[in-house]
Amino acid sequence: MRLPSPKLTKYITHRPTPKQRLFLLLHNYREAFYGGAAGGGKSDSLLMAALQYVDVPGYAALLLRRTYADLSLPGALMDRADQWLQGTDAHWNGQEKTWTFPSGATVTFGYLENEKDKYRYQGSELQFVGFDELTQFSESQYRYLFSRLRRLKNSEVPIRMRAASNPGGLGHEWVKQRFIVEGKKNGRVFVPARLVDNPHLDQVEYRQSLEALDAVTRAQLLAGDWDAKTGGLMFKREWFEIVETSPERARRVRYWDLASTEAKAGKDPDFTSGCRLAEADGIFYIEDMQHFRGSPGTVEKRVRQTAELDGKAVPIQMEQEGGASGVNTIDHYARRVLTGFAFYGDKKTGSKIEMARPVSAAAEKGNIKLVRGNWIGPFLDELEAFPLGAHDDQVDALSGSFNKLAGAKTFSVGFF
């Protein structure tokens, strides 16, 4: 590849490979993604890109991994930066996890282990953000960091969002969609890199290590195959057929997983979710999924309104938290919110994963259908991420309703 030389500084100690040079030359593109097979030099590419403008006063870069442990592993980003920058005129602040350069420019290392961790950077002003192993992050974490990218008027430093990753991981689908499927038409550059693109690595030995992996992981890491995936850990979206209607004569229940919290800046609270499930001849139909946040009063009004729309023939169950507060909540809803409806509290006895296992088994057999509605997309996203996703409220509501209908062949009110 005959490419011009990218801007480099004395702190970049490795000679960029041709693919890395291309990645470093993309100054006119706000978004760029370097990825594909393992061993393609992804982490080095991100570190080089972050160091390109550390000779400019006021420049600030942030490099991210999902956890602090990921950052600090041998050979990971912080370790590589230490190898490159120790003995130079750059200064390391261990408490802030920041390298400061004579120009006053900084390169900081951070992590986003939980969804709400993105708000840690709410006050930051950055010209470069780099995500290492992007498929380990949620799309909302990635998109939020765009709000931190800014520069002074008349500055020549480019604003850059950069990322690198292999296929696979919880974020596989959104990363593939953003960069592989939609990237070109939206001005997002994807630079594919393979093991053969990195002459600094013992390719024969590394290839032998990758050959020992399962077929899907091997295809992802050795070939950089974005179409090879295992799907969700407990649920796969292709298990759920979407239908237009459910049988009129069916047993039904509405099950609520309650949370009375409004969304606020810097927080990512749980949702209130209510699943209406129907069963006929051993087939289960998710007819509706309520999924929202709100104050306690807002939640109560929505629960009551939903009950009115469902009708009194549909029994209502609600997860009962342990202790006196759980008893009081059920009593309050029975006497003041859902008066006149068949309403019951439900004490959970197992973990979320244990409660979801029967649902997963039924879904894999094709015995759970989805009645078409605009709730389906977010619902399937949460199911595929379970149990490692940021939220599981809809999964809990589905598990509760399924276990009620599947475990009780006689239900006191409103079968049909």
d(CA 195, CA 41): 8
Reduced to 3 states (helix: H, G, I; strand: E, B; else coil), residue 358 is: helix
pLDDT in tens, 89-116: 999 999 999 999 999 999 999 999 888 8
Q: Which tokens hold the place of 275?
A: 């699943």
Residue 280 CB-density burial (10 A; 0-12 exposed, 13-18 middle, 19+ buried):
middle
- The position carrying tokens 């953003």 is 178
Alpha helices (H) in 267-348, listed in sequence order = 296-310, 323-332
Among 128, 143, 161, smallest CA distance to 62 is for 128
Residue spans in the chain of domains classed CATH 3.40.50.300 = 18-222
Say how far residue 171 (Cα) sits from the centre of its chain. 5
Rounded CA gap, 94 and 79, in Å? 12
Phi, psi of 399 (to 5 degrees): -60, -45
Sign of CA dihedral 242, 380, 330, 355: positive
Strand partners for 60: 106
With contact defined as beta carbons under 8 Å apart, do 344 and 316 qualify? Answer: yes
Structure tokens of 412? 């006191």
237-407 under CATH 3.40.640.10, yes or no: no
Q: Which residues of the chain have pLDDT under 70?
A: 1-2, 36-40, 194-225, 227-233, 260, 263-267, 408-416
Which residues, listed in sequence order, are joined to residue 309 by a DSSP beta bridge? none
Only one residue has tokens 């490795």, namely 14
Q: What are the helix (H) ranges across 117-163?
A: 139-144
In tens, the pLDDT along 27-57 reads 999 999 998 655 447 889 999 999 999 999 9
pLDDT at 118: 92
**CATH 3.30.420.240 region(s) of the chain?**
237-407
- Say what the pLDDT of residue 204 is: 56
The pair phi, psi for residue 227, each rounded to 5°, is -90, -10
- Label residue 245 exposed, middle or buried (CB < 10 Å: 0-12, 13-18, 19+): exposed
18-222 — its CATH code?
3.40.50.300
Element housing 399 (H / E) = helix 393-407
The pLDDT assigned to 412 comes to 38
Cβ contact 143:115 at 8 Å: no
Beta strands in 208-282 (DSSP E): 241-243, 251-257, 272-280
